[in-house]
């Protein structure tokens, strides 16, 4: 067993115990008992050993078994529970992304408080005896809004992201000078528990292939973290991606899932790193979900088999994800694969620990495999967190969205001849209302449409405050309207999440082109950037006077209600029977988007830490298309992930 006697960090787990079979060099070293019983305090190190194709921790051969967890997707009160379950699964290490946009919310404005306290999260990993592989980006992908890059970078519309563009590099360097000094004292050789740091992320999959950019990052990381820390890259096993994603001075690792031929996949790593440890930095335990597609799942047996094959080769492995969590609020990203594909609110990922942090069959299958190679920690696996089905809760309509613009946009509208993007308005997330009037009589149905891919991402259209339908980013069906000169036309545009992977262009939001009526452009717009979350966090609309609102249930509107817990605040899941699409807040906390009629996700996870015990819980729903005649929510004790429904469902289902 390796113990750094003077270290403030607990030992990250028991020594490796190899299986009794023919093993490569690392496994043979481990089997031969070449681990010193004690490392001197001065010998605290984590290094590459190219001669024996392994890592060396404090001078002894070392192989990690790791799992990914994202602190931004897990409520802070649950961090300890999730990390302890990972430790008890036999993991020595956790892999952690740092999303730049989660911390630098506006240029030069930083937030490291509450759920964003990355230092507290890292300190907790150390307290629990886990090592850390840190992935600070600046780009992280992660199916996270804009891959972790801040949307305010797009305030300079000609910026070229993830390249040597001086404007981009200046923002990156400014951020790294804030983040990396927080990381340096937590590096392993400094007495901390961070054994390695990834530079960028899967850069080989990006079109730019700018080695000067990677060289710049390498220089910045070395200048801020020192020369001793192990820096690495991760890419797929494709030769072209490994060519563009790797750089001398950064150890090249690969990622692949359980369907891959392990020998071939590591062969790809060997072509760029002929010597050194075999590393799979993202071994996929499951996959993400897109709105409108089936819930992804990967069999436990398949995942376990691939894991065992890699461990037999002496490889170091990180399982992505070990615990996925939730894309609360507006943090889910989108892929671009021939079309825009937004990611669901749930990031369950079919991972070994479920969205709510519960051990699954897959976790126990993985734990069994790990036990063949090393002793497991002594003690029971912590149980699933308690859930409660709070049942039906009745809501009432509070107001149509267009009737509360004074609250949601207190500074008033911006006038512009033609539409402006979210980025031009400095609006990062959420919604913007574009308001104009019909310039002429339209007695016969006229086509309201926009250039292809210019409504980013969904536009809810109201004529004289009457909902007409929705325009979508891809393959949109045009709307036909009639009206008189002077009639009001409003389009509420929703940002569904900026592209995090798959497209080579910056993902601007809002109306990117002119709306036209029978091909005649509309102009003279009043534009309202909405600050809905600010209002809801300040107690609106529960603390506001009741509004007199139209009785109709169609179109964008707010609904409110309350419920009490029976003296306990346990995790729960909320279902939206007969609702269409929108967002949910409980006690001012934005739990994310629901999209009942698109699916597959039918419930939103509500952490018990959001709820009050012994006093009312305030519910606010923004429904965008249409609520059921009796607006009810149903609180369950289990999730529903895999039902893609039509919009004709009713609350009586």
Contact 315, 278 (CB under 8 A): yes
| Pairing assessment for the beta strands 251-255 and 279-284 based on DSSP bridges | parallel
DSSP 244: H
Contact 473, 340 (CB under 8 A): yes
Beta bridge partners of 131: 93
Quote the Cα angle for 85-86-88, to 5°: 65
427: three-class secondary structure by DSSP = coil
**Cα 163 to Cα 510: distance, rounded to the nearest angstrom:** 25
DSSP 53: T
| Pairing assessment for the beta strands 414-416 and 520-521 based on DSSP bridges | unpaired
For 236, 307, 470, 552, 581, the CA distances from 556, given in Å and listed in that order, are: 42, 48, 11, 11, 10
Contact 267, 248 (CB under 8 A): no
Positions marked catalytic: 202, 282
Output the furthest CA–CA distance in the chain (Å, rounded): 88
Contact 151, 101 (CB under 8 A): yes
- Measured between its terminal Cα atoms, the distance across the chain in Å is 58
Quote the Cα angle for 507-509-515, to 5°: 125
How many of the other CB atoms lie within 10 Å of CB of 128?
Answer: 18
Contacts of 302 (CB under 8 A, 6+ apart): 258, 259
For 49, 95, 132, 252, 273, the CA distances from 276, given in Å and listed in that order, are: 6, 20, 20, 10, 7
> Dihedral through CA 300, CA 306, CA 308, CA 312, nearest 10?
180
Please provide the DSSP assignment of 389-400 as one string: --EEEE-EEEEE
Contact 265, 291 (CB under 8 A): no
For 74, 226, 294, the CA distances from 322, given in Å and listed in that order, are: 12, 30, 21
Q: What b/e sequence results for 87-107 when a residue is b if at least 16 CB atoms lie within 10 Å of its CB, and e otherwise?
A: bbbbbbbbbbbbbbbbbbeee
**Cα 334 to Cα 504: distance, rounded to the nearest angstrom:** 13
**Cα 350 to Cα 363: distance, rounded to the nearest angstrom:** 11
29: three-class secondary structure by DSSP = helix
**Cα 356 to Cα 334: distance, rounded to the nearest angstrom:** 22
For 494, 556, 577, the CA distances from 469, given in Å and listed in that order, are: 14, 11, 21
Beta bridge partners of 332: 144
Q: What b/e sequence results for 441-461 when a residue is b if at least 16 CB atoms lie within 10 Å of its CB, and e otherwise?
A: ebeeebebbbeebbbbbbbbb
How many of the other CB atoms lie within 10 Å of CB of 413?
Answer: 15
**Cα 126 to Cα 114: distance, rounded to the nearest angstrom:** 19
């Amino acid at each position: 067993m390796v113990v750094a006697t003077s270290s403030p960090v607990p030992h990250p787990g028991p020594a490796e115990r190899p299986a009794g079979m023919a093993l490569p060099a690392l496994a043979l070293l481990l089997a031969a008992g070449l681990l010193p019983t004690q490392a001197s305090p001065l010998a605290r190190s984590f290094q590459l050993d190219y001669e024996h194709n392994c890592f060396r921790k404090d001078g002894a051969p070392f192989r990690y078994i790791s799992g990914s967890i994202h602190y931004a997707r897990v409520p802070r009160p649950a961090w300890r529970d999730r990390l302890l379950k990972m430790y008890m699964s036999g993991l020595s290490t956790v892999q952690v992304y740092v999303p730049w946009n989660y911390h630098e919310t506006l240029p030069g404005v930083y937030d490291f408080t509450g759920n964003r306290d990355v230092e507290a999260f890292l300190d907790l990993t150390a307290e629990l005896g886990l090592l850390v592989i840190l992935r600070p980006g600046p780009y992280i992908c992660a199916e996270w809004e804009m891959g972790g890059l801040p949307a305010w970078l797009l305030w300079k519309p000609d910026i070229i992201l993830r390249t040597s563009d001086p404007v981009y590099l200046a923002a990156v360097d400014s951020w790294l000078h804030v983040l990396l000094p927080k990381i340096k004292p937590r590096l392993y050789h400094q007495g901390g528990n961070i054994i390695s740091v990834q530079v960028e992320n899967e850069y080989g999959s990006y079109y730019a292939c700018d080695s000067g950019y990677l060289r710049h990052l390498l220089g910045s990381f070395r200048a801020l973290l020192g020369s001793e820390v192990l820096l690495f890259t991760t890419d797929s096993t494709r030769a072209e991606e490994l060519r563009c994603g790797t750089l001398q001075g950064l150890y090249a690792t690969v990622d692949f899932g359980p369907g891959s031929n392990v020998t071939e996949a590591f062969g790809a790593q060997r072509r760029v790193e002929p010597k050194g440890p075999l590393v799979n930095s993202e071994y996929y335990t499951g996959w993400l979900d897109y709105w409108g597609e089936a819930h992804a799942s990967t069999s436990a047996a398949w995942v376990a088999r691939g894991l065992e094959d890699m461990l037999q080769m002496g490889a170091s492995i990180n399982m992505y994800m070990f615990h996925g969590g939730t894309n609360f609020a507006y943090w889910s990203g989108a892929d671009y694969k021939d079309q825009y594909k937004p990611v669901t609110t749930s990031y369950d990922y079919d991972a070994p620990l479920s969205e709510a942090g519960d051990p699954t069959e897959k976790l126990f299958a993985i734990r069994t495999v790990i036990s063949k190679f090393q002793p497991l920690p002594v003690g029971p696996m912590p149980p699933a967190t308690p859930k409660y089905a709070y049942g039906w809760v009745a809501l009432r309509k509070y107001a149509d969205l267009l009737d509360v613009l004074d609250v949601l946009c207190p500074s008033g509208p911006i006038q512009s001849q033609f539409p402006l993007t979210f980025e031009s308005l400095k609006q990062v997330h959420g919604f913007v209302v574009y308001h104009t009037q019909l310039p002429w009589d339209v007695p016969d149905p006229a086509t309201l449409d926009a250039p292809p891919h210019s409504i980013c991402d969904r536009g809810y259209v109201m004529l004289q405050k009457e909902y007409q339908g929705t325009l979508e980013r891809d393959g949109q069906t045009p709307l036909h309207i009639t009206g008189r000169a002077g009639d009001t036309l409003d389009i509420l545009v929703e940002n569904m999440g900026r592209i995090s992977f798959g497209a080579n262009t910056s993902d601007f939001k809002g109306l990117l082109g002119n709306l036209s009526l029978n091909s005649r452009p509309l102009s003279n717009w009043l534009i309202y950037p909405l600050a809905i979350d600010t209002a809801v966090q300040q107690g609106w609309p529960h603390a506001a006077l009741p509004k007199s609102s139209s009785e109709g249930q169609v179109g964008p509107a707010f609904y409110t209600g309350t419920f009490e817990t029976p003296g306990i605040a346990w995790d729960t899941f909320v279902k939206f029977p007969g609702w269409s699409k929108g967002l949910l807040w409980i006690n001012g906390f934005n739990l994310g988007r629901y999209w009942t009629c698109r699916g597959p996700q039918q419930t939103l996870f509500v952490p018990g830490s959001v709820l009050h015990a012994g006093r009312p819980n305030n519910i606010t729903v923004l429904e965008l298309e249409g609520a059921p005649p009796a607006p009810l929510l149903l609180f369950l004790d289990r999730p529903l992930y895999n039902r893609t429904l039509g919009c004709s469902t009713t609350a009586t289902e």
